């Protein structure tokens, strides 16, 4: 009763031996890659639907922005530059993880976290330069929602990165942890890539109307 | 150069690998390795997919019964004209709770719950992917449902309908906390469903037995894979919508407030962009059950496998283009509505393709009319009726006549109960022996079936006529002069019959656990891999992971050439090792170490619940509530020294 039907008794020599297979793999071969991709699909859909809601409200409004000037360009544009620049240490971090070079991993983790502190600080100024409150009108609500959603991603990604960085200094390590570092870097790519259309919506769309 | 090795623990002794066929020592070791821990803390630490699935199923069945009792209460109120049993305020809560329960706490989660049990067995895996996240998703779901029912018992249950239309659900017309509890329930259940979708997709793509190429996976697995992808793109919409709603109510945003450039129809668009795919999230798993049950009882492989798969995918795509047909009574452009009428008609095509394939399978097979098949045949009858009224509702002028009447109530129950609940009941009779090792009682089952079938038609068919006579949805009573009394009385009698049939079902489920006829591994003669395991399966499912050469591996083992590998050897027996294969062809790729049981998913879910519930009362809960969540998730993730030492040993041995 307890025996698999497929394991026929004489098949001793007819097994597929898995004992020599590697115990980790990078990229789409790994489970963590698919899990991260699933999160990216979900969060990308949320961003996309928020942008759709923005334009839905825009086409139904007589004037856009209805009552206030558009967001000031300075801090948002500066942050776009900082976020884009953070891709470089993030890329180096991903490569270092794939090569298993712990010294470079640690170095680039510190660089990434330094970038995090800078873009989170600038983000505070971005909120203050929106020139509208969330409770002024629907425009203010959707603008705060969009910037707020992206900021949540910056905060969670910074926290994930910090936790992994501490692990890289303290251990215990095995190769699978390098895969985690690599997938964390993929998620960072997404958070930056999602920002570019959001920047265009927040800062350029109200000016081109 | 500093190497990773510098922070590695010294390797533990290498765990031994399994032989083919597995020895008794292999079996004992694997059982010990993969089973859930004992004791009080152990109970909260369980992560085996079968344990989580059984708890999930029991929870969803509990909510189904609760939602059903609420329906019976409504039917008793409507049984005769000018009835004074239930007042309007409670009635509003009852229909909102009924819809919310059945859609968010039963129909979608029950499908995911059953599939996290079956999918690993069907694809030849020892676990689902991300077993801890699977446990977390269950706890989040449970806490969300308990929150809703606690609110309902305290007279703060939602009262604006299961789709909470604004402005009725907005701050002006729904003061108090009732709608806030509804909005957070959505957050709970959709978070759970989204995580389960990731679990299912990753399991199906990466954990299949060697040789089970994508064009060989069972159709039920295809159905759940397609459903999981739909969840990824549909559920975010309702989460976003309900977040906007709760912010409008709590922090003064204006998403749905026309006075400040907001738009009430934005709610309807976002809700139905989720809500229409939702119908198919419930229906497609039902199709999957049918595609599993029919070949077994027709005793032949399914006719038109490729057409079936393409139909599932086509249905999924089309279901995202139908949402406006819920909004025909709004001021949208008429040309746009015509497009949605066309799309609504079009989706009948892939459904028809599947129905014809099933008929061909049944026609050319040797029919074995057991209980699960009765439910399948009921599906054909009821779904065709529901589909016909669907075609009527897809047409704008007809829809305007019966919009918001009992005609729509009749239609949706025919589609959802016929399309999902009848197949689900058949599926329970079909797989119950796999879950418990015993068959359900056939005689009680037949009583259950006929009471359900007759009761269902008695309850819901008269509603078509009531709708045509002008009875609107959600009214708590009606005067005798309307002439609706007789039809309503009939519907209530039908509802009581359904109640009796569900009671028989519950008794059968309970009694058969110990008194049912022993089933053996394959009581129905099925062809898919779950029937190759013991009933109930051991903790590890497969002591040696099988190698697959066709779509119905159990049927194909009899006549194979003797010189090909039958199973996988060399996976650790004293560590949780799983074979990972390639996405398309399921070629062996690498070995993955799976995590140990831990209570931290449970604790994380508790912290998450505190954040969600706290945010109903103060927006700052999102800030301080995040701290315990972050701490719990970090401890959950943090690798243990001893486990890492074993993993390092396995890594070095490659």
CB B180 within 8 A of CB B250: yes
Calpha distance A57→A60 (Å, rounded): 5
- pLDDT-flagged residues of chain B (< 50): none
Instruction: Confirm whether A39 is domain-assigned.
Output: no
- Residue B495: closest CA among B87, B91, B62, B98: B98
Calpha distance B542→B130 (Å, rounded): 18
What pairs with residue B567 in β-bridges? A15, B546
List pLDDT tens digits, range A102-139: 999 999 999 999 999 999 999 999 999 999 999 999 99
Calpha distance B219→B225 (Å, rounded): 10
pLDDT for the residue B76: 98
Instruction: Give CATH for domain B1-15+30-89+101-278+524-554+566-654.
Output: 1.20.210.10
Helices (H) and strands (E) in chain A, counts: 5, 1
Calpha distance B552→B337 (Å, rounded): 44
Provide the strand spans (E) within B558-647: 567-569, 577-581, 588-593
- Residue B569: closest CA among A5, A15, A21, A8: A15
Calpha distance B369→B376 (Å, rounded): 10
Calpha distance B4→A169 (Å, rounded): 10
In angstroms, the separation between the Cα of residue B140 and the nearest Cα of chain A is 17
pLDDT for the residue A13: 54
Instruction: Confirm whether A60 is domain-assigned.
Output: no
pLDDT for the residue A3: 35
* Strand pairing class (B588-593; A15-17): unpaired
The length of chain B in residues reads 654
Does B435 lie at the interface with A, CB-CB under 8 angstroms? no
Which residues are CB-contacts of B237 (< 8 A; sequence separation ≥ 6)?
A: A45, A49, B270, B271, B273, B274
Instruction: Confirm whether A48 is domain-assigned.
Output: no
Does B634 lie at the interface with A, CB-CB under 8 angstroms? yes
Does B534 lie at the interface with A, CB-CB under 8 angstroms? yes
In angstroms, the separation between the Cα of residue B626 and the nearest Cα of chain A is 10
Cβ–Cβ gap A60/B634 under 8 Å: no
* Nearest neighbour of B206 by CB, restricted to A31, A159, A178: A31
Per CB-CB distance under 8 Å, the chain A contacts of B542 are: 4
List pLDDT tens digits, range A2-13: 333 343 444 445
Q: What is the span of the domain harbouring residue A87?
A: 72-209
Calpha distance B138→B602 (Å, rounded): 9
Calpha distance B431→B527 (Å, rounded): 13
Q: How many CB atoms lie within 10 A of CB A60?
A: 15
Count interface pairs A-B at CB distance under 8 A. Answer: 271
List pLDDT tens digits, range A15-68: 999 999 999 999 999 999 999 999 999 999 999 999 999 999 999 999 999 999
What pairs with residue A15 in β-bridges? B567
Determine the residue of chain B that is closest to A97 in CA distance: B4
Instruction: Confirm whether A25 is domain-assigned.
Output: no
Give start-end residues of each CATH 1.20.210.10 domain in chain B.
1-15+30-89+101-278+524-554+566-654
pLDDT for the residue A66: 93
Instruction: Confirm whether A190 is domain-assigned.
Output: yes
Among residues of chain A, what percentage have pLDDT more than 90? 92
Give me the phi and psi of B590, to 5 degrees please. -155, 170
* Nearest neighbour of A4 by CB, restricted to B248, B546, B647: B546
Calpha distance B480→B478 (Å, rounded): 7
CB B244 within 8 A of CB B269: no
What pairs with residue B497 in β-bridges? none
CB B459 within 8 A of CB B71: no
Q: Is the dihedral of CA B196, B197, B203, B204 positive or negative?
A: positive
Cβ–Cβ gap B570/A163 under 8 Å: no
Does A28 lie at the interface with B, CB-CB under 8 angstroms? yes
Determine the residue of chain A that is closest to B250 in CA distance: A135
Cβ–Cβ gap B232/A9 under 8 Å: no
Calpha distance B483→B380 (Å, rounded): 32
Per CB-CB distance under 8 Å, the chain B contacts of A101 are: 1-3
DSSP assigned state of B23: P
Q: Which two tokens stand for residue A176?
A: 């699978």
Interface of A with B in 144-203 (CB under 8 A): 144-145, 159, 163, 167-168, 170-178
What pairs with residue B592 in β-bridges? B578
CB B93 within 8 A of CB B158: yes
- Identify the burial level of B641 via C-beta atoms within 10 angstroms of its C-beta, where 0-12 means exposed, 13-18 middle and 19 or more buried: exposed
Interface of B with A in 110-169 (CB under 8 A): 129-130, 133
Calpha distance A101→B528 (Å, rounded): 45
Cβ–Cβ gap A1/B520 under 8 Å: yes
Q: What is the domain-level CATH number for residue A96?
A: 1.20.120.80
CB B245 within 8 A of CB A141: no
Interface of A with B in 69-98 (CB under 8 A): none
Determine the residue of chain A that is closest to B259 in CA distance: A137
How many Cα atoms within 13 Å fall on the side-chain side of residue B100?
A: 33
DSSP readout, A25-91? Answer: --GGGSHHHHHHHHHHHHHHHHHHHHHHHHHHHHHHSSSSSSSSPPPPHHHHHHHHHHHHHHHHHHH
How many independent structural domains does chain A possess?
1
Determine the residue of chain B that is closest to A63 in CA distance: B261
CA distances (Å), B89 to each of A32, B74, B86, B99, B476, in order? 49, 12, 8, 16, 9
Calpha distance B345→B361 (Å, rounded): 25
The length of chain A in residues reads 209
How many Cα atoms within 13 Å fall on the side-chain side of residue A43?
A: 23
List pLDDT tens digits, range B21-55: 999 999 999 999 999 999 999 999 999 999 999 99
Does A138 lie at the interface with B, CB-CB under 8 angstroms? yes
Max Cα separation, chain A? 81
> Helix, strand, or coil here: B546?
strand
Q: Is the dihedral of CA B254, B257, B259, B262 positive or negative?
A: positive
* Nearest neighbour of A18 by CB, restricted to B232, B562, B569: B569
Calpha distance B648→B14 (Å, rounded): 9
Does B202 lie at the interface with A, CB-CB under 8 angstroms? yes
Calpha distance B548→B216 (Å, rounded): 9
Q: What Rg, from alpha-carbon coordinates, does chain B have?
A: 26
Q: Which two tokens stand for residue A205?
A: 């769309």
């Amino acid at each position: 009763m307890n025996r698999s039907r497929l394991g026929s008794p004489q098949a001793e020599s007819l097994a597929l031996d898995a004992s020599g297979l590697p115990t980790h793999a990078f990229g789409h071969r790994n489970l963590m890659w698919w899990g991260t991709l699933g999160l990216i699909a979900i969060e990308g859909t949320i961003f996309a639907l928020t942008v759709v809601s923005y334009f839905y409200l825009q086409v139904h409004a007589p004037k856009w922005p209805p009552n206030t000037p558009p967001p000031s360009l300075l801090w948002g544009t500066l942050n776009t530059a900082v976020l884009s620049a953070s891709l470089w240490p993030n890329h180096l971090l991903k490569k270092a993880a794939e090569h298993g070079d712990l010294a470079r991993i640690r170095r680039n983790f510190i660089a990434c976290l330094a970038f995090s502190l800078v873009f989170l600080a600038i983000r505070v100024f971005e909120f203050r330069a929106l020139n509208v409150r969330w409770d002024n009108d629907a425009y203010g609500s959707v603008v705060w929602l969009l910037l707020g959603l992206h900021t949540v991603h910056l905060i969670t990604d910074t926290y994930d990165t910090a936790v992994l960085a501490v692990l890289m200094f303290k251990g215990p390590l095995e190769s699978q942890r390098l895969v985690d570092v690599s997938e964390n870097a993929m998620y960072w790519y997404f958070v930056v890539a999602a920002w570019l259309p959001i920047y265009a919506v927040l800062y350029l769309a109200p000016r081109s109307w | 150069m500093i190497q990773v090795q510098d922070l590695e623990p010294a390797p533990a002794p290498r765990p031994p690998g399994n032989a083919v066929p597995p020895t008794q020592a292999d079996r004992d070791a694997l059982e010990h390795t993969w089973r859930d821990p004992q004791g009080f803390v152990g109970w909260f630490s369980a992560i085996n997919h079968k344990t989580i699935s059984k708890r999930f199923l029991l929870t969803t069945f509990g909510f189904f019964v609760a939602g059903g009792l609420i329906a019976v209460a409504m039917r008793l109120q409507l049984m005769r004209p000018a009835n004074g049993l239930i007042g309007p305020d409670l009635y509003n809560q009852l229909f909102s709770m009924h819809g919310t329960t059945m859609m968010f706490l039963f129909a979608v989660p029950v499908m995911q719950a059953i599939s996290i049990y079956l999918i690993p067995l069907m694809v030849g895996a020892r676990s689902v992917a991300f077993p801890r996240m699977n446990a977390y998703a269950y706890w989040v779901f449970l806490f969300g449902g308990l929150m809703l029912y606690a609110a309902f018992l305290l007279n703060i249950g939602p009262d604006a309908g299961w789709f909470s239309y604004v402005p009725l659900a907005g701050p002006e017309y729904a003061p108090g906390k009732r709608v806030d509890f509804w909005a957070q329930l959505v957050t709970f259940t959709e978070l759970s469903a989204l995580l389960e979708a990731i679990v299912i997709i990753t399991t199906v793509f990466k954990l299949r037995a060697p040789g089970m190429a994508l064009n060989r996976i069972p159709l039920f697995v295809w159905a759940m894979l397609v459903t999981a992808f739909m969840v990824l793109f549909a559920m975010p919409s309702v989460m976003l919508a309900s977040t906007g709603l709760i912010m409008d109510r709590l922090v003064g945003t204006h998403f749905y407030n026309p006075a400040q450039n907001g738009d009430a129809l934005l709610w309807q668009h976002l809700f139905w962009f989720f809500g229409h795919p939702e119908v198919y999230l419930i229906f497609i798993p039902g199709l999957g059950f049918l595609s599993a049950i029919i070949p077994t009882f027709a005793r032949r492989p399914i006719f038109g496998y490729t057409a079936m798969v393409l139909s599932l995918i086509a249905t999924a795509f089309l279901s995202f283009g139908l949402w406006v047909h819920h909004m025909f009574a709004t001021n949208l452009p008429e040309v746009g509505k015509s497009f949605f009428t066309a799309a609504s008609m079009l989706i009948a095509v892939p459904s028809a393709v599947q129905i014809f394939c099933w008929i061909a399978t049944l026609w050319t097979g040797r029919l074995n009319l057991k209980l699960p098949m009765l439910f399948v045949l009921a599906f054909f009858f009821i779904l065709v009726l529901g589909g016909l009224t669907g075609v009527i509702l897809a047409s704008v002028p007809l829809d305007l006549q019966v919009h918001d009447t009992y005609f729509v109530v009749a239609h949706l129950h025919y589609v959802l109960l016929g399309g999902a609940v009848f197949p689900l009941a058949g599926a329970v009779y079909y797989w119950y022996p796999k879950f418990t090792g015993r068959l359900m009682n056939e005689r009680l089952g037949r009583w259950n079936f006929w009471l359900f079938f007759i009761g269902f038609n008695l309850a819901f068919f008269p509603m078509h006529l009531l709708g045509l006579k002008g009875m609107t949805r959600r009214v708590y009573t009606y005067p005798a002069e309307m002439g609706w009394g007789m039809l309503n009385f009939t519907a209530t009698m039908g509802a009581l019959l359904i109640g009796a049939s569900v009671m028989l079902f519950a008794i059968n489920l309970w009694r058969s656990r110990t008194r049912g006829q022993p089933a053996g591994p394959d009581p129905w003669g099925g062809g898919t891999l779950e029937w190759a395991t013991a009933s109930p399966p051991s903790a590890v499912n497969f002591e040696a992971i099988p190698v697959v050469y066709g779509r119905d591996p159990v049927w194909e083992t009899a006549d194979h050439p003797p010189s090909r590998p039958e199973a996988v050897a060399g996976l650790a027996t004293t560590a949780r090792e799983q074979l990972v294969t390639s996405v398309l062809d399921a070629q062996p790729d690498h070995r993955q170490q799976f995590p140990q049981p831990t209570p931290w998913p449970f604790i994380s879910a508790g912290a998450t619940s505190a954040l969600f519930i706290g945010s109903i009362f103060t927006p700052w809960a999102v800030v301080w509530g995040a701290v315990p969540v972050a701490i719990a998730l970090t401890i959950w993730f943090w690798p243990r020294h001893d486990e890492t030492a074993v993993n390092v040993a396995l890594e070095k041995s490659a």
